[in-house]
Amino acid sequence: MLRVTFIGVGGWVTNPSFGHISILVEGGSSKVLLDFGEGSYWGYVRCVGREPWDVDYLILTHRHGDHILGVPTLAQMARARGRVVRIASIPDAVGAVKDLLRAVGARHCLENLDFTELSLGSEASLGGVRVKAIPAKHSVTASSIIMKISSYVVAYSGDTLPNPSFLSEARGADVLIHEVSAPRELAEEARAYGHTSEVDVEYVVSYVKPRYFIPIHYSEYLPRLPAVPGTELVAPSPCGRVVIK
């Protein structure tokens, strides 16, 4: 059984009720967090009912604030609780997190973070989970993630334009979590900043043919999405959960 719990589903410029991006994926005995935007620590406590110390790894896709600004609070709480948090990410984002903790006067909390660097284009074993970081098409160096957890394949776009390299690797995934950051009217603006819009959704889902499609990284409004035969659409909300058998 695979469980996906949404801590926050919004991008940086978003409706405050959506929260900033963070997703908990649980399969078998493995638990992985994907991204950790502002407010994610207490969002996790609210949504999951516990603090995140049983998570095997936190995977960060890139350095943008809506994906990493929850890490200083996580590090401070880890220090207060005598815990160490394992973080896996590409080198650019690892450097950004270290700089962020220094900038906010929490350099000492780096002792409570254990970093594993992910190489773009390569697979890595994070405990019982296999992860491949694929170069994303975004405004900064960023990754999309293909994750094999228990007997399931979860594909998470992070922030990116529709990317054939990622979509090819994701084909037939059990779950495709893909950003839909902008409405149809702002498609060109979204593309200029390295984001996917409503215009691209049918192509993305039809190409990958996942069992479940989960749009994520909302702007100020919920996206308008087409139905794609053969794929179940899941509309996430903070503290929502989907269970897959």
pLDDT tens, residue by residue, 45-63 = 999 999 999 999 999 999 9
pLDDT digits (tens, 9 = 90+) for 140-153: 999 999 999 999 99
Of 89-98, 123-132, 219-228, which gets the smallest average pLDDT?
Answer: 219-228
DSSP string, 111-177: GGEEEEEPPTT-EEEETTEEEEEEE--SSSSBEEEEEEETTEEEEE--S-S--HHHHHHHTT-SEEE
pLDDT band at 221 (very low <50, low <70, confident <90, very high): confident
CATH superfamily of 2-241: Ribonuclease Z/Hydroxyacylglutathione hydrolase-like (3.60.15.10)
CA pair distance 241, 73, nearest whole angstrom: 24
Question: Vertex 42, ends 36 and 45: CA angle to 5°?
Answer: 105
What percent of the chain has pLDDT above 70?
100
Q: Is the pTM of this model over 0.95?
A: yes
